[in-house]
């Protein structure tokens, strides 16, 4: 589903909010995005950027993914897991919408790159999907936030040991890069995944939904044909200060020495739409969390019967998960805890529940903890483990994974005769209309 198809879908289903009033990309846009977090918003007029519109909240609801992929929210985990298993090489077009307009001069300051918060280190691209080629593993795509430095340069946050960082380490010279902004939904999903090295995420995107590519004009890379804006350039080995900037946790990420990206060429669609993604907002959270549920699901399924995984927004959509199992053995709850930590390295707290608990309902999960869990019997506590670099309470080690404690709660009921004592009482259903009550 292209960005433009998403706008049409959001308009037709009545969920799109359209802002006709002129909005300033300097702080004001982010304030409106924050106030409307969770909803798709199309900004028709931007101060100083008359040729551009901006869109926010593209991935702000799981329902948006489900609508794009033509499945239910509950089926998302399986759709993503299937696409991970069966990448399909995308076709290459001779010409594409993302190259309709070729800028004669590179001037990044002329793009509507917002400044989100007064404490930010600068103006930031937050929904940029970077395409690179690793000399050994081939094509890799991933999100990298980009802090605008001047007309031709960004400072890029490139997390250590992931695809882009690994490829950079192998190149003495600059690493060619193409940054696609305003990507189709399936490309956004694929860019947020971390498949095994050598698996091409654009082929995962094409496995999810048809995704055509086009060759870049100045670098040997391919980009999504339907993207709104393409920046072609090189990741250099020059380091500068990047940050501060809020991250997924909605707390301020500090300043780090990070690589400079030099941009040599800019192309875009006619009447382009800029995708602005609020850091720490629901769009950021969904893109991070939803893609880790299949990996936890697969890991837990190795050790017991897993029936569902939910990475909760309250846990920053990254560090907390609820795992639902169809318990067959007394040890299954604990086995599921260990496996969940294997399935997602940044997971910090996990609760395991039975199939009679709705894992999407916080109150039901809490009920399971209250009635089925004893801390001195059912708690798995781990100390000094690798954790999330985003967690301000973890011990941060520059250039390495942070160190953290982890906790797993086995909130499943015992098997056998005893289980009946743990079940909620049920009342027979009634027809309320017979009582003059309309619901
Ligand atoms: C909205 C969003 C923003 C992200 N920002 C960054 C970032 O600034 N730097 C980074 O290294 N990873 C960032 N990530 C995470 C990577 O895109 C993600 O971990 C990706 O799966 C890494 O893929 P790889 O292991 O194949 O390289 C972001 C993810 C999302 C969804």
Instruction: Out of 58, 143, 188, give the residue to mutate to test ligand 1, the one with the largest number of ligand atoms within 8 Å of its CB.
Output: 143
Ligand 1 pocket, 176 CB below 6 A? no
Hey, what long-range contacts does 11-19 have (CB within 8 A, 24 or more apart)? 13/67, 15/39, 15/40, 16/40, 16/41, 16/42, 17/41, 17/42, 18/42, 18/44, 19/43, 19/44
Instruction: Out of 84, 141, 162, give the residue to mutate to test ligand 1, the one with the largest number of ligand atoms within 8 Å of its CB.
Output: 162
Q: What is the mean pLDDT of residues 236-240?
A: 98
The CA–CA distances, whole Å, from 59 to 16, 34, 144, 145 equal 12, 14, 17, 17
Catalytic residue among 120, 134, 247, 332: 247
Tokens 């192309």: give the residue: 267
Ligand 1 pocket, 277 CB below 6 A? yes
Closest residue CA from atom 15 of ligand 1: 143
Tokens 């919408």: give the residue: 97
pLDDT tens digits for 355-387?
Answer: 999 999 999 999 999 999 999 999 999 999 999
Ligand 1 pocket, 288 CB below 6 A? yes
356 as an active site residue: the answer is: no
Dihedrals φ, ψ of 289, to 5°?
A: -75, -45
Ligand 1 center–CA 164 separation, angstroms: 10
Residue-level pLDDT at 290: 92
Q: Which atom of ligand 1 is nearest to the CA of 195?
A: 26
Ligand 1 center–CA 90 separation, angstroms: 22
Q: Nearest 5°: CA angle at 15, between 10 and 19?
A: 90
Residue-level pLDDT at 161: 85
Tokens 């289980």: give the residue: 419
Q: Which atom of ligand 1 is nearest to the CA of 193?
A: 21
Q: Which atom of ligand 1 is nearest to the CA of 156?
A: 8
Ligand 1 pocket, 199 CB below 6 A? no
Residue-level pLDDT at 228: 98
Ligand 1 center–CA 156 separation, angstroms: 11
Instruction: Out of 157, 168, 185, 192, give the residue to mutate to test ligand 1, the one with the largest number of ligand atoms within 8 Å of its CB.
Output: 192
pLDDT tens digits for 115-136?
Answer: 999 999 999 999 999 999 999 9
Ligand 1 pocket, 144 CB below 6 A? yes
pLDDT tens digits for 1-31?
Answer: 999 999 999 999 999 999 999 999 999 999 9
**pTM (predicted TM-score):** 0.93
pLDDT tens digits for 153-178?
Answer: 999 999 988 899 999 999 999 999 99
pLDDT tens digits for 57-114?
Answer: 999 999 999 999 999 998 998 899 899 989 999 999 999 999 999 999 999 999 999 9
Ligand 1 center–CA 157 separation, angstroms: 9
Which of 344, 320, 338, 336 minimizes the C-alpha distance to 412? 336
Q: Do 120 and 247 contact (CB within 8 A), yes or no?
A: no
Ligand 1 pocket, 197 CB below 6 A? no
Q: Which atom of ligand 1 is nearest to the CA of 158?
A: 11
Q: Do 45 and 23 contact (CB within 8 A), yes or no?
A: yes
Separation of alpha carbons 345 and 287, rounded Å: 17
| 401: confidence class by pLDDT, cuts 50, 70, 90 | confident
């Amino acid at each position: 589903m292209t960005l433009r198809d998403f706008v049409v879908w959001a308009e037709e289903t009545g969920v799109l909010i359209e802002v006709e009033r002129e909005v300033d990309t300097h702080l004001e846009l982010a304030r409106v995005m924050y106030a409307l977090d969770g909803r798709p918003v199309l900004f028709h007029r931007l101060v100083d950027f008359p040729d551009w519109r901006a869109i926010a909240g593209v991935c702000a609801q799981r329902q948006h993914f489900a609508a794009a992929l033509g499945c239910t929210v509950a089926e998302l985990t399986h759709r993503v897991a299937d696409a991970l298993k069966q990448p399909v090489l995308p076709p290459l077009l001779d010409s594409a919408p993302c190259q309709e307009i070729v800028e004669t001069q590179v001037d990044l300051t002329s793009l509507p790159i917002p400044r989100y918060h007064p404490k930010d280190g600068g103006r930031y691209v937050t929904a940029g999907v970077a395409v690179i080629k690793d000399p050994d593993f081939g094509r890799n795509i991933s999100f990298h936030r980009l802090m605008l430095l001047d007309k031709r340069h960004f400072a890029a946050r490139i997390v250590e040991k992931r695809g882009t960082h690994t490829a950079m380490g192998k190149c003495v010279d600059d690493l060619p890069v193409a940054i696609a902004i305003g990507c189709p939904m399936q490309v956004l999903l694929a860019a947020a995944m971390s498949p095994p090295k050598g698996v091409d995420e654009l082929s995962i995107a094409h496995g999810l939904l048809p995704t055509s590519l086009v060759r870049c004009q100045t670098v040997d890379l391919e980009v999504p044909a339907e993207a709104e804006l393409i920046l072609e350039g090189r990741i250099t080995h020059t380091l500068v200060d990047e940050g501060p900037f809020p991250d997924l946790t909605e707390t301020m990420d500090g300043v780090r020495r990070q690589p400079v990206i030099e941009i040599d060429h800019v192309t875009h669609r006619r009447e382009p739409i800029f995708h602005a993604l609020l850091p720490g907002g629901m769009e950021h959270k969904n893109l991070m969390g939803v893609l880790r549920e299949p990996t936890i699901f697969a890991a837990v399924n190795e050790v017991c019967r897993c029936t569902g995984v939910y990475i909760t927004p309250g846990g920053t959509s990254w560090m907390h998960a609820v795992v639902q199992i169809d318990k067959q053995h007394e040890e299954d709850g604990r086995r599921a805890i260990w496996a969940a930590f294997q399935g997602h390295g940044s997971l910090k707290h996990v609760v395991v529940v039975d199939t009679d608990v709705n894992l999407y309902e916080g109150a039901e999960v809490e009920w399971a903890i209250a009635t089925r869990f004893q801390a001195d019997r059912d708690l798995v506590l781990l100390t000094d483990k690798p954790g999330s670099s985003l967690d301000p309470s973890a011990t941060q080690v520059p250039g390495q994974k942070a160190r953290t404690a982890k906790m797993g709660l086995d909130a499943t009921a015992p098997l056998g005769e005893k289980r009946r004592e743990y079940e909620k009482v049920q009342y027979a259903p009634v027809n309320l209309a017979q009582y003059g009550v309309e619901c």
